[in-house]
Structure 1
């Protein structure tokens, strides 16, 4: 018999903080790369 454990609210908060920690620098890098690349095509 397998049991599925519910995700605790603290785990959801940790998960959200982790994804923000990862996606914010990634989004910043993509934005900077695209803005620099657009300079080549002007």
Structure 2
């Protein structure tokens, strides 16, 4: 009789959280897009405030 994969018991985490190398690239990508976007939004809102203020 062979054991099925769904019969296996999952091991408990040891407390160490593995870091996926793609996580750093994802954060870098969001910063690369998000910082100029935030600058543009802030600049636009300040100019709109001058226009209507």
Spell out structure 1 runs of 4+ moving beyond 4 A: none
Unpaired stretches in structure 1, ≥5 consecutive residues: 1-7
Unpaired stretches in structure 2, ≥5 consecutive residues: 1-18
User: If the length of structure 2 is used for normalisation, what is the TM-score?
Assistant: 0.61
Q: What is the Cα-based RMSD across aligned positions, in Å?
A: 1.1
Count of aligned positions: 35
Higher percent of residues as helix:
1
Which is higher, the Rg of structure 1 or of structure 2? 2
User: If the length of structure 1 is used for normalisation, what is the TM-score?
Assistant: 0.75
